[in-house]
Chains A and B, each alone.
Chain A
Amino acid sequence: MDNYKRKREKQRVRIRNKYEILGFISSGTYGRVYKARPREGTQVELAIKRFKPEREGEVRSTSGISQSACREIGLCRELHHENIIELCEVVMDDSAIHMVMDYAEFDLLSIMQHHTHHMRKPMPELVIKSILWQLLNGVAYLHANLILQRDLKPANIMITSSGVVKVGDMGLARVFRRPFVPLYSGDKVVVTVWYRAPELLLGSRHYTTAIDMWSVGCIFAEMLALRPIFKGDEVKMEKKQVPFQRNQVNRILEVLGTPAKEQWPQMELMPDYAHMKQFRHYPSALKSWYANTGHKSEPGFQLLSSMLEYDPARRITAADALDHPYFKEDPKPTRHP
């Protein structure tokens, strides 16, 4: 038995012996993220996510290794793509599990804020197109590998200083293991409300790739207008009941119009469809919304509309979106805008 322990001690690397912590990036329920640099070898910057030790001391019945770490690391371990944040290493020391990941200087949220507050002008079309194309490229890779990201939003889209987009934060992502069986997720409701697809807002419990594509559409729109397209007020969860997001639905109707039956035949079967009667009828206003952003590309408008299709079955897939005429029209997207 002592032999095992010695062997284990040798395997154990201390995170601070191997990496120099340069600063603090963010903190969440899962733990904290730091910026770091390896002490030896090539000088690259990395992000280290330190999972909170599992309720140490507080409850007598410890639960061992954290469930969120198991899920997130387990997934990221299988992902290797230029547009997905890469997991370089998992380091366990006495106190916690650490994910050592690619570091990206910027995220899309801060880039958009920079354009709004400092430059006070829209993002150039070339930049929008290049970011959108790479985002779709990453999402198409996830979907081809039967993974749903489930929380796409500007803050989760990382961009390196050389302009490479990396989809990050796989904390909520799930594999849809049985591909032909619809995925029911009893986990908490996912997707930040502004980026939440209409079928989720109407109570659907089936998570599909179309849900990620709605979020991509919202992000595309946000780059065009430099403000969220559907900026609803979130109704907070009460007594563990998932509330109907009335304001969010209204925001969508104001821009896209009230969906006609033939536009979304399955809508009437949605669990929360009854709520739809409380809204007045809106005509579609996406065309004028798009014109107001000052962008003129017709294929751009077509692509946006096909991402914001009400009917998830008709919404464009990531793979098809990559082939869209918008990307064949000048200015053509580049990898490093």
Chain B
Amino acid sequence: MIFETVAKILGEYKDVDPATITRDATFASLGLDSLDTVEIVMSLEDAFGIEIDMEQSLQNVEDLVKLIEAKKA
């Protein structure tokens, strides 16, 4: 469920079909730079009602999903 929401938010941000976004897709491969990542993290915070500290470097979609799972646990 978390992955689906992340994919939906990424899809909206990049204006692409969420179905094309895979767990192992890197931000670089999605054409997202560090400033985009900050925007996406803020959207995800709103969507999940959590605060995400960007403590560790986020490389791919799976990193984000794991981070949110840990926060929600």
Q: Do A and B come from one complex?
A: no
